[in-house]
Amino acid sequence: MKGGQFKELLLRSVTDELELEERLLMEAELLPDYVFTPGFKERVLSRIDAVITPLYMRPDFLRSFEIGFRRVALTGVAAILVLAVSLLLTQGSLSYDTLLGIDNQVDDSLISLLIE
């Protein structure tokens, strides 16, 4: 269909009701039929799978990630325990004020600063 004929048909469809043949012709122009070759979906999915799978599903990557996570987690737990023991030895308790580093002196100085 030529551009002028299609434009005329499109404008007529806005104002008037089209006949069945004209409507089918206009729909054929507006909605082209995309046909993919057989196996297109499988090829696309296999290519995506080939790119993604090596990134996070390789056994060596998962094993090294697990070993690294364990090392970091154990180091973090050890640091927390050392901090708790040092606070317990220096302050004598593990209250919220001790964990946050707030003393009675700090409370008094904060109150005096807020009053001024």
Residue 91 in domain: yes
Residue 3 in domain: no
Q: Provide the domain limits for residue 79.
A: 59-115
Would you give the distance in Å from CA 69 to the centre of its chain? 21
Predicted local confidence at residue 58, as pLDDT: 67
Predicted local confidence at residue 73, as pLDDT: 94
Averaged over successive runs of 10 residues, the pLDDT of the chain (116 residues) comes to 76 83 83 83 88 67 82 93 86 75 66 76
The dihedral formed by the CA atoms of 60, 61, 64 and 67, expressed in degrees to the nearest 10: -110
Residue 101 in domain: yes
Say how many Å lie between the first and final Cα of the chain, rounded. Answer: 86
